[in-house]
Amino acid sequence: MVAPNNFIMNTDYLSIAQSGKNTMTLIKNGGTVPAYGQVIEQTDFTYPSDNGAIEKFFVSINDSDFKLGSSADSPTGGGIIIYRISPTTVRVEFVVNNIMGSSPITYPLTKFIIKVVTFKPPNVF
């Protein structure tokens, strides 16, 4: 089959379409994790879901390049896990582990930029 010229403008083929985009910024201050302990902090962002849409998360740590995924680890300590807890709320969980450490550890201020992009498959209403 030959690909049509100017596919986007002249096609009968169904394809996905971007239906939304939002950016959230999470800044976590530095701190200390006790020996054999961990720090878990949760932050909720209001971002309504789009029925039938596919949601993708992109994360940048300290202004680095964006990476696709619902979790990211900072090279200086700590990481985040992103998930939806309701149709209107996205939760970002910040975690620093020192479960195996016999002495306290410190972690620096870290800036996370999270982009949420939604795509709709064809014929979803």
Reported as a single tens digit per residue, the pLDDT across 18-62 is 888 999 999 999 999 999 999 999 999 998 888 888 899 999 999
**Furthest C-alpha separation in the chain:** 65
Q: What is the pLDDT of residue 102?
A: 92
Q: What is the pLDDT of residue 64?
A: 93
What is the enclosing helix (H) or strand (E) of 14? none
17, 120 Cβ separation under 8 angstroms: yes
- Name the residue ranges covered by the structural domains of the chain: 17-120
Neighbouring residues of 60: CB distance < 8 A, sequence distance ≥ 6: 66, 67, 112, 113, 114, 115
The pTM of the full predicted model, rounded to 2 decimals, is 0.81
pLDDT of residue 51: 85
DSSP 4: P
Q: What pLDDT is stored for residue 25 in this prediction?
A: 96
Question: What confidence tier does 5 reach under pLDDT thresholds 50, 70, 90?
Answer: low
Pick the CATH number of 17-120 from 2.60.40, 2.40.128, 1.10.238, 3.40.50: 2.60.40
| Minimum mean pLDDT range among 31-40, 68-77, 107-116 | 68-77
| Beta-carbon count within 10 A of 45 CB | 16
